[in-house]
Structure 1
Amino acid sequence: MKETLPPSPRALRNVLFIMCDQLRADYLSCYGHPRLHTPNIDALAARGVRFDRAYAQGSVCGASRMSTYTGRYVSTHGAMWNFVPLSVGQKTLGEHLRPHGVRCALVGKTHVEPDLEGATRLGIDVTQGEGLLAMEGGFEPYARDDGIWPPGFKVSGNAYCDWLRERGYVSDNPWHDFANSGRGPNGEILSGWQMRWADKPAAIEEPHSETPYTTDRAIDFMKEAGDTPWVLHLSYIKPHWPYVVPAPYHDMYGPDDVLPAIRSEEERQDAHPVLEGFRRDTASESFSRDEVRRTVIPTYMGLVKQVDDQLGRLFAFMREQGIDRETLVLFTSDHGDYLGDHWLGEKELFHEPIVRVPLIVVDPRAEADATRGSASDALVECVDIVPTVLEALGIERPAQWLEGESLLPLVHGHEGAVGKDFVVCENSYAFRDAVRLPIGQPVERCHMTMLRDARWKFVHFEDLPPMLFDLESDPHELVDLGRDPAHAAVREQMLGRLFAWLRARHRFPTIAPAAIEAWNRREREAGILIGAW
């Protein structure tokens, strides 16, 4: 369905960059879910382009987000996993924008870990100005909320927790005790960290839960922004666990709405040792039980539905204010959630439910009218978001920093715009001793890299056999061909493409290729003839 937009009296000047945490693409109705209807996200797709083959560059929150914020692959920026600091030497979206007078702010989660050691070594004051922004991943922390505070942990100085206390939710940790837990018959806390309570409503009024709170802060930002051009990263912490949602969303869906798990008994036989290690994880063992899936997935669906409703509220505000006609909108997720597929829970590996993410781009300008409401099957990546934002705002894209490509040629329907030959995702199981220790792998040899093209998905492991899936004949990735002698030539070809990709990483981030060429010309023109006879 195609939706037209009224013309704007002003040029495009803002960007709303929306990210959900742990949202599977196939849990949106515009991406095919038959029971979970998301009309506001669907309406967004009707106003723009829905990318059906978009891929994250990391299969955990931190690595994926750092790639999205820098426009660089994980191997290049180095923040391989959660809680790994993003080097102060990396350049992020905000640092590309601010010299051009564009305000770059955050509402919600980033998972950015500050490089305090690097800042100390360089004498950077991290309490104010550019030093503070560098520790926040380049974002002005308008309303940062990374959540995920453990039970019993005294929380002070967290804006959301302070806001809850002001509204009568009094405890050391109202994030856990109210927003992410239910109540038993005698008032006891039913912790959201235990999935057995997922079907109980959160002990909080719905308008006070995290998703409406985050939406409120986004509206506050837009009201206060005035005429200064802005990029707002609106980053919802849900539907990431703890799987708890307030009424009425807690029982909107039931066990009958849970789709069958994508898994087979055959894929458990002689499984890859890394895959087998992740299946020993507590979340995987839990989600392998039908009882757990029937309890948790309806709540996951409720969390997605609440996000969609809140986006409807935000989009209505933008229409009333005329903001939508001068704002580029991007909607995506940092990765998906196994929810029991392939006998797994959580994320970290490279099956489609994890690495394929929703990506919708809405450009309100007339140049995008030809593709409005369409779906693209081009292979694209989340590293393409920063180049897209810069091009949309008319800001030069520094080739030495960015490894992604702008999506605007695809959004504008340019002839010859076809996407990429392949996409890449990376992770490390160095942080998972249950995986690493049984196979005797040292920390520095735990890197794993996925390369996916139009047909094949190849996963390379150091010192271990690869994984290989034929997505043409096996779209659900149930048959691993990584050790099949008949596919040795395919594995060799994919390994060669991976090696070529590694050799093409950007080695000179602080100097542009054109500057290197200019230096060589100046040297010759100056008569510097090193080694001449």
Structure 2
Amino acid sequence: MIPRPPILSTGLLSLLLGLASCSQEPLQPSLLVITLDTTRADYLSCYGSKRSRTPAMDGLAQSGVLFERTLASSAVTPVAHASIFTGLYGPGHGLRVLAGKGGDRLPSAATTLAEMCDQGGWDTAAVHSAFPVSRRFGLDQGFQHFDSFEGKARIDETGKTTWDVKNLQRRSDETVDRTLAWAAEAERPFMLWVHLWDPHDPTLTPPASFMQGVPQDGQGAYHPIRLYAREVEYLDLQIARLLKELRPLAGEAGLIVALTSDHGEGLEDGMARHGWGAHRMLYGEQINVPLILAGPGVPQLKRVTQLVRTVDLLPTLTQLLGLPTPGGIDGLDLAPLWEGSDAYRNAVGDLSPRAAYADQINGYDGNASMVRRRPDAAFQFVWVEYPWKLYWRPHQPESSELFNLAQDSTEEINLLATRPRIAHRLLSALAERKPWVTEPYGAPDDVDVEGALDALGYGGGSAADDPAGPQPYPWKWVSVSEALGLPAAAGDATLPIVTKD
């Protein structure tokens, strides 16, 4: 006879089950961060686009929170991504340019979201679509799996250093394939960064079947604006596939999804308004980006109208994941905004006013040959206290601008001369941050980087535009009032400018 197991009393059984549940670690959600390169918010239909239809991103917004007014910290890829993953603006994290020794790599001392997740027990991975987010820029910190790009430079027939562009990037369908192959073997919970590149340039276009109806010129080149819109739609198709496959893999703890862009693009309307169709400038076309959050801990069907910044993503995600938020960062938790608060909450619970910062140090960037054609683009610093936006050019103070975004969303009416008190307040706030760079960076250790970036369209011009590289600027330190041409004021902060004399 087989002996019967002992019968446990109801009380004892309950006690044992309680002890077992206490011994289990609480379930942690997985995290997917999607960064869209060179993608403007106004090309997503959930942001009102009439040029592109983006049902996957629209659905993501409906299942979570969409932030209507999000500003990027820079209009070049590695600098902007460093801010997303550290919660710091450029002066804080140290990656300021694309090509310049001492300013073109995220320092190892910087703490990234991936490092925090790695230390917290998440399986971390990044799968990329182009060179400018490679380990060359220090963006691999904290990732156990880092699927990015390496390569060698070559000298073309003109003597210019360049790069094999076809091997520098991949289309979003291949990136998603590689992502899903990793995710199928990943441990839970996982933290995954997927970088999608398609709208950046016309080197790789969607399949011909997807491009039907897009006009082409006599050489077979697609109409640039129609191509850009269709590439955004192709991204959306791949995002739909990515979300469909990843959500079940996250398990019952669920998947938090954060979607944003590093920066936008000038395009046709930017060229018409501001004389520039690419990036490396800081008008709305370049720094107004999408931001959508969804998943455990995030409400559905919410739209936040207040000004937010991409640096706010890190502290928001650490709070959602139950990780400690590092002190001393620029970003602030976004939860109070979707909860109805009119102010941010930082790591220690203080309330702070909303302001945003962005910069471009093109004048000391060995890759920014566009400065030759746009001298006003050499040094750009933006400070926004909505509705006011100060666009400060310290090397050309006379070309600086002040916009009232509530009345002039396209940034075409310069009010700097007619609103001196507001200009003084915003410039003082900017000067207090001390974000200036007044000494050139050295030449990059790896001479191939400039050719790589120029081949991808970051330089904004040919090598002949700026054969000598970044030039020195004769900086002079003055008060905020003097910089604005105003009477001296007690307690003024100081800042560097270049004067005409």
Q: 1:147 to 1:314 in 2, by over 3 A?
A: farther
Q: Which runs of 5 or more residues in structure 2 are unaligned?
A: 1-24, 158-162, 346-352, 436-501
> Of 240, 255, 272, which aligns to 1:327?
255
Residue 170 of structure 2 corresponds to residue 215 of structure 1: no
2:333 aligns with 406
The TM-score, its normalising length taken from structure 1, stands at 0.65
> Of 155, 166, 172, which aligns to 1:176?
166
2:209 aligns with 248
Mapping for residues 273-284 of structure 1, pairs under 5 Å: none
d(CA) in 2 for partners of 1:219, 1:26: 29
Residue 84 of structure 2 corresponds to residue 65 of structure 1: no
Residue 46 of structure 2 corresponds to residue 85 of structure 1: no
Aligned residue type for 2:57:
I
Alpha-carbon shift at residue 94 of structure 1 (Å)? 2.0
Contact map agreement 2:343 2:354 (CA 8 A) in 1 = no
Aligned residue type for 1:140:
Q
Aligned residue type for 2:431:
F
2:240 aligns with 312
d(CA) in 1 for partners of 2:50, 2:89: 34
Aligned residue type for 2:281:
L
Alpha-carbon shift at residue 448 of structure 1 (Å)? 2.0
> Of 467, 478, 489, which aligns to 2:421?
489
SS of the aligned residue for 2:413 comes to coil
Contact map agreement 1:105 1:141 (CA 8 A) in 2 = yes
2:407 aligns with 473
Structure with the higher helix share, 1 or 2: 1
1:203 aligns with none
Contact map agreement 1:469 1:480 (CA 8 A) in 2 = yes
Contact map agreement 2:332 2:344 (CA 8 A) in 1 = no
Structure 1 residue ranges, 4+ long, deviating more than 6 angstroms after superposition: 146-153, 291-294
Aligned residue type for 1:234:
V
Q: Deviations over 1:500-527 (max 9, x none)?
A: 3449xxxxxxxxxxxxxxxxxxxxxxxx
Contact map agreement 2:114 2:142 (CA 8 A) in 1 = yes
The TM-score, its normalising length taken from structure 2, stands at 0.69
Aligned residue type for 2:355:
F
Mapping for residues 23-422 of structure 1, pairs under 5 Å: 23-83=39-99, 84-109=104-129, 111-112=132-133, 136-145=140-149, 176=166, 210-227=171-188, 229-242=189-202, 244-254=205-215, 295-321=223-249, 323=251, 326-340=254-268, 341=270, 342=273, 343-365=275-297, 368-369=298-299, 372-400=300-328, 402-411=329-338, 413=339, 415=341, 417=343, 420-422=353-355
Contact map agreement 2:123 2:187 (CA 8 A) in 1 = no
Contact map agreement 2:172 2:197 (CA 8 A) in 1 = yes
Aligned residue type for 1:356:
N
Q: Which runs of 5 or more residues in structure 1 are unaligned?
A: 1-8, 117-133, 154-171, 181-208, 256-290, 504-533
Aligned residue type for 1:476:
T
Alpha-carbon shift at residue 140 of structure 1 (Å)? 3.1
SS of the aligned residue for 2:141 comes to coil
d(CA) in 1 for partners of 2:228, 2:155: 21
Select between 321-330 and 45-54 the one with higher mean Cα deviation: 321-330
Contact map agreement 1:67 1:77 (CA 8 A) in 2 = yes
d(CA) in 1 for partners of 2:46, 2:152: 29
Contact map agreement 1:146 1:237 (CA 8 A) in 2 = no
Aligned residue type for 1:13:
P
Q: 1:292 to 1:331 in 2, by over 3 A?
A: farther
Alpha-carbon shift at residue 451 of structure 1 (Å)? 0.9
Please give the root-mean-square deviation of Cα atoms over the aligned residues, in Å. Answer: 3.5
Q: Deviations over 1:247-295 (max 9, x none)?
A: 122234459xxxxxxxxxxxxxxxxxxxxxxxxxxxxxxxxxxx99981
Aligned residue type for 1:298:
R
Q: 1:418 to 1:214 in 2, by over 3 A?
A: same
Aligned residue type for 1:410:
L
SS of the aligned residue for 1:15 comes to strand
> Of 362, 371, 387, which aligns to 1:435?
371
Aligned residue type for 1:42:
D
Identity of aligned residues (%): 26
d(CA) in 1 for partners of 2:373, 2:187: 55
